[in-house]
Chain A
């Protein structure tokens, strides 16, 4: 049975069909949630929540987008809800200078990142990359995760985030630049001479 048929059956209340869809996508949704939120507990909750929401609202799914896009959108919203709830605990400081000002990004981009193959993504580096993602603001984090972790096309991303293709392009560029700045400022790479101290010099 193909996906369309499964979705059709699920819409008419066939639990087994829906469960087949769950088995198809739970890994991807979990992975996305994990990268968005940074810990297995939240990822688990989000996955469960997203599928339950999908189940109870599948009647409203009209097939304008693909099922996976629709599911990702739900999951993204659940993730953002979690982030928002978290933000109530850790308050943003509005007066902090922006970390991602244009000039700083450009300077950063001109700097050197170590060769990923040299660094051989060992667990330390993986943790560092993970942290670097988690330091991005939500709108950057979600686009990076959808593109570079979940490997979705620009078009799919546009539908999931409900933004235009042009915005996908520019936001992704900014997100990657910010991430590259985050990576470069990590302890790990200090010996390469791109520590945060140097970045602040020009301000």
Chain B
């Protein structure tokens, strides 16, 4: 249907909104005069918009503003906005104390985490199952394949190791790895699929991996996707809010027709235990998805983490002998930092 019309259908809706330039508008008008089908479509879009315009504007309940005012003063009382505090007081004592405590705590925490790290550490991964290596999801179970799979002759892509780009001549396998929490996997992958299919991408295969308790650990979508679909899925998924940080570069600019492989997975215990990292950034990222950012940091810093790991290893030998003392000092520092902060926040009694 679309193919018969020389104007893109989406221009009809932009035309109603007055968001086309004059040349485009003219083309739409010209086309409308000859195409009854598009006239009907335009009318339908127009009515849809009128229905929406007919909805009354919902006004907030009267007490909401009061409540908001109180909530804001509540927040304000205990927390001056950060920039202001920084400017007024410079680097705070508490920050220095906390940093010192952290430096001391780090090796201890490292030691503890290597000692205590058990397979069940990541609650989302099966107790016994070794975590799936991030780069080779070949061993996933195919749990459900949708009705509209269209096997064609030369399709090898799903079988190939989906490394970044370059599976066959015409096939580009794009990997977008997103790191999410378990319950989000289903939601994001359903949405990703919706966006892709709506744009004419074809879902060729979907596999889901569960842990031993039946939690969804990973969902892989393999899509036959024209380039703009690849981009749209990337964008669309980002649009799921704070869920997802960034898709990989290859993912957002697929410039060749091909296959998109979308791996949506929960955060897993990484192969090389990057020790402290997982716990550390949790505080730093108040807004957004901690698990995701943690994942990103791990990726980009993995090189230095290995070096860091070696350093920690050496430190550990020394630390092991001094563990009780260190733990004591660290705790003391942490406590003092807390007290300093508390005083600062509440203020000295005048």
Contacts and interface: CB of A to CB of B under 8 A. Distances in A.
Interface residues of B, number: 75
Given A81-B241, A137-B191, A139-B239, A121 B67 contact: no
Contacts of B278: none
Nearest to A53: B287
A1 interface: no
Contacts of A22: 65, 68-69, 72
Contact of A31 (B45, B57, B68, B76): B57
A77 B288 CA distance: 10
Interface string A84-99: 1001100110110110
A61 B239 CA distance: 20
Nearest to B69: A19
Contacts of B59: 27, 30-31
Contact of B10 (A108, A126, A173): A173
Contacts of A58: 81
B163 interface: no
A104 B11 CA distance: 19
A65 interface: no
Contacts of B146: 94-95
A48 interface: yes
Nearest to A103: B1
Contacts, number: 225
A176 B206 contact: no
B65 A15 contact: no
A48 to B, nearest CB: 6
Main SS class of interface, A: helix
A167 interface: yes
A137 B194 contact: yes
Interface string B217-246: 000000000000001100110111111000
A26 B64 contact: yes
A189 B35 CA distance: 26
A56 B75 CA distance: 8
A201 B80 CA distance: 62
Contacts of B287: 53, 57
Interface of B: 1-2, 9-14, 17, 19, 37, 40-41, 44-45, 47-61, 64-65, 67-69, 71-73, 75-76, 79-84, 144, 146-147, 183-184, 186-187, 189-191, 193-195, 197-200, 206, 231-232, 235-236, 238-243, 287
5 contacts: A35-B55, A55-B72, A77-B242, A95-B144, A116-B51
Interface of A: 11-13, 15, 18-19, 22-23, 26-27, 30-31, 34-35, 40, 43-44, 47-48, 51-53, 55-60, 76-77, 79-81, 84, 87-88, 91-92, 94-95, 97-98, 100-103, 106, 108-117, 121, 125-126, 129-130, 133, 137-139, 142, 144, 147-149, 153-154, 161-164, 167, 169-174, 176-177, 179-180, 183
